[in-house]
């Protein structure tokens, strides 16, 4: 049974040969920021924003809470890497052979063959492959590389960029706004319902690289869309940094599902900021899987601004030896009759640390807010650590907020039952684990669900003895 699901971790960990047309020297300087902007031929307002962010970044100390960032050598990171490939090819054949191989190994064209609505792939700092199904194009859906969007859709970008996650939000947002490159831009016009998911894949290849993609999604009034992204990086001995930023705008009566499976290599610092602003009657759904990466600090946030807006967060975090997954979810209830549901599952295995850090905040005057948070942790093996730090902050007496959490190990009875049905212990544990994460996998498109399942299975290997 384990045979057909066995996968080869090396396909993620292996680095391809570096072929870059431009590799910035390590460290970040004003000169570099100007250079990035110049190479991209950006409008002046963007350069101003970059410089403003850089200035704040240089003044701001590292955060003192959360996991240790000691191993993060910010001066040694290459902040901008441009691969040797035509930007935004629409034909898969145009993509250079080695890059293509990497993505093929990761299953991108496979996914597209299964008729996902659109695909974008980002290698290092630039988007290199991009395709959007004809039907969606006709309906006016825009799916672009963020750099191109800045040129072709400047007005839309300017209206929303830096408006959901402000550049001065925290140290790594400042860094992001100074050095951002690539990412996804999606605009779904009023009333359009994109039935199939749009997807992007981000890959960091170079040693000591940094990836700072910016994703901006705008779902206009009454429109619906689903977007999914996957992320990976090869394994080096030195640390690399991913500080992406995701800004989501869900307008009146619109609906967006944002899914991501992040599987960075074990020495990546994944310090990501994801946030959505939801207007009246809008719905945001987050589905996230956090595996890989050495240290993750990621708390997708829903700002429920409009009356009757809704947020649903569903996530799984997995930490094996040496990993610290500090993840969670935040919901800010600002409108009236808003609701949020947060389901966070985590697995910590031998030597891994998972932390759930969450916030549910109900403002004064945000009447009849409803929120329910459920955290479920599974601990396997020795030396694993599971922390739960939820903050519930209620300033309106009409609110109803509930939080529940459980931490435990695999039940002897469950194990015994499966073993009595002929499974060996390892297979039984794998089966229990895949049952534990099922609420998340069943919400993902098939390939991503398979990938998530396989990755966790792989991580579980050798758990016994």
Give contact residues for another protein (rule: CB under 8 A). 65, 348, 359, 361, 364, 377, 379-409
Residue placing its CB nearer to another protein in the complex, 278 or 399:
399
The CB-of-330 to another protein minimum distance in angstroms stands at: 9
Is residue 10 packed enough to be buried (19+ CB in 10 Å), middle (13-18) or exposed (0-12)?
A: exposed
Pair 108, 119: CB distance under 8 Å? yes
Residue number, 405 or 427, with CB nearest to another protein: 405
| Count, residues in the chain | 465
- Confirm if 156 and 150 have CB atoms less than 8 A apart: no
Q: How far is the CB of 34 from another protein (least distance, A)?
A: 36
Of 291 and 401, which CB lies nearer to another protein in the complex structure?
A: 401
Q: How far, in Å, CA of 419 to CA of 292, rounded?
A: 30
Q: Compare residues 449 and 460 and give the one whose CB is closer to another protein.
A: 460
- The first and second tokens of residue 109, run together, are 């064209």
| Minimum distance of another protein from residue 202's CB (angstroms) | 30
In terms of CB distance, is 204 or 359 closer to another protein? 359
Cβ contacts of 73 within 8 Å, gap of 6 or more: 238, 239
Nearer to another protein, 153 or 463 (CB): 463
450 contacts 111 by C-beta, under 8 angstroms: no
The secondary structure of 144-164 as a DSSP string is EEHHHHHHHTHHHHHHHTTTS
In a 10 Å sphere around its CB, with 0-12 CB exposed, 13-18 middle and 19+ buried, how is residue 24 labelled? buried
Query: To the nearest whole angstrom, how small is the minimum distance from the Cβ of residue 299 to another protein?
Result: 12
Number of other CB atoms surrounding residue 59 within 10 Å:
9
- Residue 377 CB, nearest distance to another protein (Å)? 8
Nearer to another protein, 174 or 379 (CB): 379
Strand-pairing partners, residue 290, are 262, 317
CA-wise closest residue to 197 among 256, 249, 138, 146: 256
Is residue 291 within 8 A of residue 452, CB to CB? The reply is yes
Q: How far is the CB of 394 from another protein (least distance, A)?
A: 4
Q: Tokens 């039952």 identify what position?
A: 417
How near is the Cβ of 376 to another protein at its closest, in Å?
Answer: 10
Q: Which is nearer to another protein, 60 or 403 (CB)?
A: 403
Contact at 8 Å (CB) between 444 and 287? yes
What's the Cα-to-Cα distance from 230 to each of 122, 176, 460, rounded to whole Å? 10, 19, 21
Q: Cβ closer to another protein: 381 or 439? A: 381
Q: How far is the CB of 358 from another protein (least distance, A)?
A: 10
Q: Which of 131, 135, 87, 142 is nearest to 108 (CA)?
A: 131
Minimum Å gap between C-beta 464 and another protein is 13
Nearer to another protein, 273 or 384 (CB): 384
CB of 454 to another protein, least distance (A): 24
Q: Which residue, 181 or 384, has its beta carbon nearer to another protein? A: 384
Q: Are 428 and 418 in contact (CB under 8 A)?
A: yes
* Residue 143 in tokens: 């799916």
We find the least distance from the C-beta atom of residue 362 to another protein, in angstroms, to be 8
Measured CA to CA in angstroms, residue 233 lies from 66, 353, 364 at distances of 23, 21, 44
Taking CA atoms, 100 is separated from 36, 201, 244, in Å, by: 25, 12, 23
Report yes or no: 333 and 304 within 8 Å, Cβ to Cβ.
yes
């Amino acid at each position: 049974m384990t045979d057909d699901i066995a996968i080869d971790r090396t396909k993620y960990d292996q680095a391809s040969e570096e072929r870059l047309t431009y590799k910035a020297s390590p460290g970040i300087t004003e000169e570099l920021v100007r250079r990035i902007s110049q190479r991209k031929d950006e409008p002046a307002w963007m350069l101003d924003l970059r410089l403003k962010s850089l200035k704040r970044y240089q003044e701001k100390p590292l955060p003192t809470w959360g996991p240790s960032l000691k191993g993060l050598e910010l001066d040694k990171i290459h902040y901008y890497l441009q691969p040797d490939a035509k930007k935004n090819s629409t034909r898969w054949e145009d993509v250079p052979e080695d890059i293509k191989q990497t993505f093929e190994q990761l299953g991108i064209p496979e996914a597209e063959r299964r008729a996902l609505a659109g695909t974008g792939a980002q290698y290092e700092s630039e988007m290199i492959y991009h395709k959007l199904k004809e039907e969606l194009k006709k309906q006016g859906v825009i799916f672009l590389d963020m750099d191109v969007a800045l040129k072709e859709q400047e007005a839309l970008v300017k209206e929303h960029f830096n408006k959901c996650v402000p550049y001065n939000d925290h140290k790594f947002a400042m860094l992001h706004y100074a050095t951002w490159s690539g990412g996804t831009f999606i605009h779904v016009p009023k009333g359009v319902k994109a039935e199939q998911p749009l997807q992007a894949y981000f890959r960091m290849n170079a040693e000591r690289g940094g990836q700072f993609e910016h994703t901006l999604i705008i779902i206009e009034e009454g429109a619906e869309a689903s977007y999914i992204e996957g992320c990976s990086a090869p394994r080096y001995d030195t640390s690399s940094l991913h500080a992406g930023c995701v800004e989501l705008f869900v307008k009146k009566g619109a609906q967006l599902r944002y899914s991501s499976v992040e599987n960075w290599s074990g020495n990546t610092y994944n310090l990501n900021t994801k946030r959505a602003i939801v207007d009246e009657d809008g719905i945001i759904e987050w589905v996230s899987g956090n595996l890989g990466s050495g240290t993750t600090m990621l708390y997708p946030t829903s700002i429920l601004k409009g009356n009757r807006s809704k947020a649903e967060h569903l996530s799984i975090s997995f930490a094996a030896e040496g990993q610290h997954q500090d993840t969670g979810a935040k919901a800010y209830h600002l409108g009236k009759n808003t609701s949020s549901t947060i389901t966070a599952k985590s697995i910590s295995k031998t030597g891994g640390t998972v932390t759930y850090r969450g916030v549910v905040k109900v403002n004064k005057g945000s009447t009849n807010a409803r929120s329910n948070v459920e955290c479920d942790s599974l601990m396997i093996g020795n030396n694993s650590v599971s922390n739960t730090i939820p903050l519930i902050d209620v300033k309106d007496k009409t609110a109803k907020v509930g939080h529940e959490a459980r931490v435990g190990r695999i039940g002897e009875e469950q194990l015994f039952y499966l073993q009595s049905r002929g499974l060996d212990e390892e297979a039984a544990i794998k089966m229990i684990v895949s049952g534990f994460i099922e609420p998340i996998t069943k919400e993902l498109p098939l390939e991503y669900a398979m990938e998530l399942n396989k990755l966790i299975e792989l991580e579980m290997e050798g758990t016994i003895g």
